[in-house]
């Protein structure tokens, strides 16, 4: 069956970005000028996804309004002859996929958010895409997972090597064997293991292709780490009754779910953004030289 549907869970509390996320979904925070959720919707579209369900929390309005028309703004831009800005605004509405929304009443975890998509998915294979991770590669990561699915007809998670010290921030896989380069059979999926107990450094990143049987498990899934219903636990359960593979992503991953990653991503996107790249690069070089001089001065004083 063709993979046509995606779920974007966007109902987390986003506590790492407070106070910005007090009244705004974390997925609406922009990288330079584009909300992270728009990057995700664009990746879905580029991968052939037709229907997307966005799971929203209390900050519902901001996401729905972003992808809706904005008549007053559009009239204003038209009257002022700002054609390119007007196109940019239209592009967020004519985004080329159908968007649907559901609300998660309590932030009980990623597994709970995905569970709410059961009737929308209606027995089809589907992808889960997290706004925390922006991916760059020649072929979109979601498309890569779909291509693997077309061969295996099994669930496939995207993984990437992370520094060993960071494993406890992720779901981690225990790889059993390599089916072909970059595709693993998995013994176990472990949510946020301690550094000592982590079975590998291959961390689950924010793209999952799942078969609909995951919902039978999520319906009965007990809370795990952090007292939340963990998608990783349900996937580990699924792996006991049908194959679940891991696909190693070799492209560039930007982790925008934590503050430092967000700052890094903003800088790197700024370096290639057509409107600011000519200023960002010389600025960074000047700043780096200045910081180096300061460090040298400090070191000389310390001697
Ligand atoms: P995170 O744990 O990264 O998001 O969840 P969070 O809880 O919002 O962030 P912090 O840790 O408090 O800063 C991963 C993804 O799952 C969604 C989040 O919106 C994020 O995209 N999520 C998480 C839900 O939709 N519902 C939940 O109950 C939890």
> What is the per-residue pLDDT across 205-260, written as a single tens digit (0 to 9) for each?
999 999 999 999 999 999 999 999 999 999 999 999 999 999 999 999 999 999 99
Tokens of 15: 């506590």
Residues touching ligand 1 (Cβ under 6 Å) are 9-16, 26, 55, 104, 107-110, 112-113, 130-132, 257
Q: By three-state DSSP, how is residue 301 classified?
A: helix
pTM assigned to the model: 0.95
Question: Ligand 1 center to residue 261 CA distance, Å?
Answer: 16
CA angle 89/91/97 to nearest 5° reads: 135
Tens digits of per-residue pLDDT, 74-86? 999 999 999 999 9
Other Cβ atoms less than 10 A from the Cβ of 40: the count is 26
Please tell me the distance between residue 57's alpha carbon and the centre of ligand 1 in angstroms.
10
For tokens 């225990």, the residue is: 174
Residue among 197, 192, 196, 145 at smallest CA distance from 172: 192
At 171 the three-state DSSP class reads strand
The atom of ligand 1 lying closest to the CA of 11 is 25
- Do residues 243 and 185 make contact, with C-beta atoms less than 8 angstroms apart? yes
């Amino acid at each position: 069956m063709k993979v046509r549907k995606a779920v974007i869970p966007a109902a987390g509390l986003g506590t790492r970005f407070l106070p910005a996320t007090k009244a705004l979904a974390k997925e609406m925070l922009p990288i330079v000028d584009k909300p992270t959720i728009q990057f995700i919707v664009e990746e879905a579209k580029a991968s052939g996804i037709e229907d997307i369900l966005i799971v929203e929390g209390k900050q519902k309005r901001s996401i729905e309004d972003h992808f809706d028309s904005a008549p007053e703004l559009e009239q204003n831009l038209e009257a002022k002859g700002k054609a390119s800005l007007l196109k940019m605004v239209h592009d967020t509405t004519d985004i080329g996929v159908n968007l649907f929304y559901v609300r998660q009443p309590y932030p009980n975890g990623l597994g709970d958010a995905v569970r709410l998509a059961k009737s929308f998915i209606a027995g089809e294979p589907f992808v889960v895409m997290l706004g925390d991770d922006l991916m760059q590669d020649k072929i979109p990561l979601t498309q890569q997972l779909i291509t693997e699915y077309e061969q295996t007809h099994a669930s496939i998670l995207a993984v990437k090597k992370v520094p060993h010290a960071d494993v406890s921030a992720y779901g981690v896989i225990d790889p059993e064997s390599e089916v072909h380069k970059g595709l693993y059979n998995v013994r176990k999926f472990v949510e946020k293991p301690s550094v000592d107990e982590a079975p590998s450094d291959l961390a689950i990143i924010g793209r999952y292709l799942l078969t609909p049987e995951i919902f039978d498990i999520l319906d009965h899934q007990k809370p795990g780490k952090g007292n939340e219903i963990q998608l990783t636990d349900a996937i580990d359960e699924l792996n006991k009754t049908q194959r679940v593979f891991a696909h190693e992503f070799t492209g560039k991953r930007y982790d925008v779910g934590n503050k430092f990653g967000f700052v890094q991503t903003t800088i790197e996107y700024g370096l290639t953004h057509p409107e600011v790249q000519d200023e960002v690069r010389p600025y960074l070089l000047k700043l780096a030289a200045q910081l180096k001089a300061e460090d040298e001065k400090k070191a000389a004083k310390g001697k």
